[in-house]
Amino acid sequence: MKAIFYFVVLLSYMSFSQNNSTYTVTENGMMTANPKYINEFETGVFNHNNKYHTDGQFGSRIYQINNGPNYGKYLWVMGPIPWSAFDDRPQLEGHDEDWNKNIEPYTIPNGDQNYWRFYPDLSNFPKDFTIKKALVDIYDIKRNKKQEALELMNRVKKVIREKYPEESYGVYFNEFPDEKEGIDLMIVSFYQKSEWLSKTNDFQIKYEEVHGKGSFVKFKKDWTNNSNGKRSELWSFREDLSGIDGEMKSSKDKK
């Protein structure tokens, strides 16, 4: 697909099973609409998605970023699919022509394309829900520290599942990270209302209830040794532009 891509988020992963040798990825990215042609751009995206991306593994969702340097940009989310499915992607008649005519001219050309792998064993999707908003934390992981970072996320998972069992979040890792970009590990927390963002942060207390007194200090030290920092973004689901809805299913029975 000819698009302007920046980074990807795996959101609708539930359709496929994963193990150590077979897993799914999602391609997606950030599109920058030309400010002069936002209406034309959104009309083109809506029509394209509802013609070519309404079901199956090639269904698409659109999100919009609400803060930071990427404010106002659009995220195109498609997948998930196993790597093997990329060879079998259907070449629907008129797809590329429609993109080139009705979307591409109304964008500003920047960005690139990436693929994120979903880690179900480190995530928590305890119940069915409808996507509305997401807090996205993107971490810059130090060179050769991926495995250590994932092991640290395993400690976090234990706290979440014991102390915040109703929270829905996913853990993802960039399949082809660029060391200069620092877009490596992504944690996507889904929420319905913005008041969720003002909740008292008692994670340190809960962490030590699970892992023992003083354990959070060690966790912070280990995390600092394995990462260079993060950035956070707020995303809103644009169902009005998407080819599929925001319904997500629990993965309780898959854990």
- What CA–CA distance (Å, rounded) separates 18 from 9? 17
- What CA–CA distance (Å, rounded) separates 11 from 131? 9
Give the type of residue at 198: S
Identify the CA nearest to 176 among candidates 111, 113, 121.
113
pLDDT tens for residues 96-152?
999 999 999 999 987 667 899 989 899 999 999 999 999 999 999 999 999 999 999
User: What torsion, rounded to 10 degrees, do the Cα atoms 94, 240, 185, 71 define?
Assistant: 110
Give pLDDT, residue 140. Answer: 97
Give the type of residue at 25: V
Give pLDDT, residue 87. Answer: 81
Helix (H, G, I), strand (E, B) or coil at 147: helix
pLDDT tens for residues 177-196?
887 888 999 999 999 999 99
User: What is the average per-residue pLDDT within 166-174?
Assistant: 93
pTM assigned to the model: 0.86
Instruction: Kindly report the number of other CB atoms within 10 A of residue 96's CB atom.
Output: 14
What is the band of 15 on the pLDDT scale with cuts at 50, 70, 90?
A: very low
Q: What domains, with CATH codes, occur in the chain?
A: 13-118 (3.30.70.100), 121-233 (3.30.70.100)
Q: How does DSSP classify residue 127?
A: S
The helices-and-strands tally (H runs, E runs) of the chain is 5, 10
Element (H, E) at 228: strand 227-237
pLDDT tens for residues 219-232?
999 999 999 999 99
